[in-house]
Chains A and B, each alone.
Chain A
Amino acid sequence: DIQMTQSPSTLSASVGDRVIITCRASQSVSSWLAWYQQKPGKAPKFLIYKASTLESGVPSRFSGSGSGTEFTLTISSLQPEDFATYYCQQYDTYPYTFGQGTKVEIK
């Protein structure tokens, strides 16, 4: 199975900060990578697919990059509603796998 490793696991940041979350795959997943945001008690929300394509309706402060085994999710200017847990997911090979999550906390 492809292992997805996110770093950091927890990130403390302030409103207006630029935030970068990294996701590494144990083998190449090409660009078949998605990002999700999850708030406590809620279902995940789809943010980005194919590593860098923003889902419709997602604010432009979110961006994704990378290919192969190394990917990043960047929030250019953190807003109060962005405090949440973020997950990457590879959909190159079954079984699909998620990273362990990165919790973005208020500093």
Chain B
Amino acid sequence: QVQLEESGGGVVQPGRSLRLSCAASGFTFSSHGMHWVRQAPDKGLEWVAVISGDESKKYYLDSVKGRFTISRDNSKNRLYLQMNSLGSEDTAVYYCARGPTGAIDYWGQGTLVTVSS
């Protein structure tokens, strides 16, 4: 069965960096586009970024462009999100998600990122 497990969340000071990781299993990872979606405390869902299966295409939410980088290692079945220049507005649960067509069919359980001094 499809499994997605995020790691790397935690408390980070404003302006610092953090890298999230997502371990995928139960499907052919390299064949699927993958997303990061976040949810601030008691707020709705916000799409963050997507990467194609072959890593040739990447798209970002405007507010994270230039600060966040999505990447993947198909040999390790892993998805990453490098987050730089973090601000309080980036505090959220970050979900790794599979989205072969744009609709997101599987979600991880999420990892909490708290930006605070």
Contacts and interface: CB of A to CB of B under 8 A. Distances in A.
A5 B94 CA distance: 23
Interface in B60-117: 60-62, 95, 99, 101-110
Contact of A46 (B44, B45, B104): B104
Main secondary structure of the interface of A (DSSP, over half): loop
Contacts, number: 60
A49 B47 contact: no
Contact of A98 (B45, B105, B110): B45
Interface centre among A46, A55, A92 (most CB of B within 10 A): A46
Nearest to A90: B102
A25 interface: no
B22 interface: no
Given A38-B45, A46-B105, A89-B104, 6 more contacts: A1-B62, A42-B109, A43-B95, A43-B109, A49-B101, A87-B45
